[in-house]
Each structure stands twice: as structure tokens, then as C-alpha cells.
Homo-oligomer: A and B are copies of this chain.
Amino acid sequence: MKPGSATAPTVEAAVTRLAALAPLADSEVELLRAAAKLPRHFPVHREIQLEGQPVGGPSIILSGWACRVQIFRDGRRQILILLLPGDVIGLCSHRSAITAASAISLTDASLCPAPVVGSGLETPGLAEAYRRSRAMEEAYLLRQIARLGRLNAHERIADWLLELRDRLGLAGMVNGDSFPMPLTQEALADILGLTSVHVNRTLQSMRREGLIDLRGGTMRLIDIPRLETLVGYRPARVSSDAPNGAGPND
């Protein structure tokens, strides 16, 4: 494995996330590992799915960060939702499905085909994990709407960071209060509906207030309780099962 390659395609994050969504049989984990042997690699800023094109089969993100994005004629961009390791894209089951918004890579990324689940008879765990994954995605979309519609810059960032920590935690990518932050402030701005200049100022203000510590591509949430009360944060939940953990490692 080349020393320079930032994201060696491993399936572990995806297995961790899907197993956190629903218990997987060993055979189902094996299906995932087998699928991950045929990864597709995307350099940064590459189109993964194109709006209006057929969805194709579902894929799993093995490594790297991506997003769904809407671009306006005059160049304005809005990132609609982040796509993180273990996320499944293209989970629509209707006929002639076409993708509603393009997906692009925000870092180098690798995907693989998601193992097909029939009517869920032989792979009940995977099928359930896919269904919950889709429900989680919908919950993130809803929260993103509330965030953009009613929160100011400080609150948007706080809320988004807490959600991000939960999401990365599901995939086992959180260490204590820290997780990787490979995005430029330009990308953050496109996520948060702000300008990069204002994101910069707000991040610095939050640093000064001792809320966060962002250095060298790592984000550390210093004062999570204060971040949470700032926006009344509550983690997304899509089922009444015990809140699926795998939270931050320590």
C-alpha cells in the first residue's frame, strides 16, 4: 500500500456503521467484505452520481467524504447532505429511478456496490440496516432544513458539528471528542448556507469561546454540553430500539 495514499479502502467503517444500525449475521458481514473487494475510487471533486441519470444499483461509501449538491446557474452551491463512510446511496426501489441531486466527492473517496438484498429473507440484518440507513438520511435532511431555516451562524455550526460527531461515531470514526475534518471552509460554507468568510469568523469566535479546537484537519469539541444547550441538540433517532451506540471510542 502506497504510503502517500490518504484513504486506503477498508470496509471496516462501513461494517461498523451498518452493524450499529441493525445486527448483522457473519454471512452478511462477509457479503460486505466481498463487495468491498471491487471498490471504485474517486479523486476529490469528482462526480459520483449525476442528477437526472438512472440511479443504478445502491453503493456503499467505504472511505472518504462526499455529498449531494445543488448548483444554481449563477454558481451558487448548496451542499444538501454529507455522505460519510458506511452511508448507502442509491437506495430507491421504484422503477426507472433517477437521482434527484448530483453526488460529488469532497475528498478522495472509494465506494463499492451494496450487497443486494432480495425480499430480506436471507439477509434480514442487511435489509433492515439499509432501511434504517435511509430513514437516518431522511432525519438528517429534516434537521438540515431546520438548521438553515432558523439557526444563526453560531448555532448552525454547533448543531452541525454535533450531528457530524454522531454520524462519524456510528462508523467508529470518533476518538473521544475528536474526529477528522477534511473539509475546507468553502465546503463548510456550502453545507451551512453561509459564506466562507463568515464561516471563518464564526469558527474563530467559537475557538475563542473555548467551544471547539480545529487544527491540522482534526476537530475537537471541547465543551459538548454547552454546544448542545446552544441549539437544544438531540441526536437523530429513527427507531425505538436502544439508541444505537458505537458512540465515541475512548
Which 5 A-B pairs rank lowest in CB-CB distance, beginning with the nearest? A149-B193, A94-B131, A70-B146, A148-B148, A78-B149
Any chain B CB within 8 A of the CB of A224?
Answer: no
Binding site for B on A (CB under 8 A): 52, 54, 68, 70, 72-73, 76-78, 80-81, 92-98, 100-101, 119, 128, 131-132, 135, 138-139, 141-146, 148-150, 192-193, 231-232, 236-241
A161 to chain B, nearest CB (A): 17
B73, B193, B238, B239: the one contacting A148 at CB < 8 Å is: B193
Residues of B within 8 A of A148 (CB): 145, 148-149, 193
A163 to chain B, nearest CB (A): 13
Contact in complex: A138, B135 (CB < 8 Å):
no
CA distance A150 to B146 in the complex (A): 14
15 A-B pairs within 8 Å (CB atoms) are namely: A70-B146, A72-B146, A72-B232, A80-B142, A80-B145, A94-B128, A94-B135, A95-B128, A96-B241, A98-B238, A100-B142, A101-B142, A141-B141, A141-B145, A144-B145
CA distance A92 to B135 in the complex (A): 7
Contact in complex: A100, B135 (CB < 8 Å):
yes
Contact in complex: B150, A96 (CB < 8 Å):
no
Chain B's closest residue to A190 (CB) is B149
Contact in complex: A92, B238 (CB < 8 Å):
yes
Residues of B within 8 A of A239 (CB): 94-98
A203 to chain B, nearest CB (A): 18
CA distance A177 to B138 in the complex (A): 32
B68, B72, B96, B192: the one contacting A142 at CB < 8 Å is: B68
B97, B144, B236: the one contacting A238 at CB < 8 Å is: B97
Contact in complex: A54, B94 (CB < 8 Å):
no
Residues of B within 8 A of A73 (CB): 232
CA distance A92 to B130 in the complex (A): 12
Contact in complex: A150, B119 (CB < 8 Å):
no
B54, B77, B81: the one contacting A240 at CB < 8 Å is: B54
A40 to chain B, nearest CB (A): 23
B95, B142, B237: the one contacting A141 at CB < 8 Å is: B142
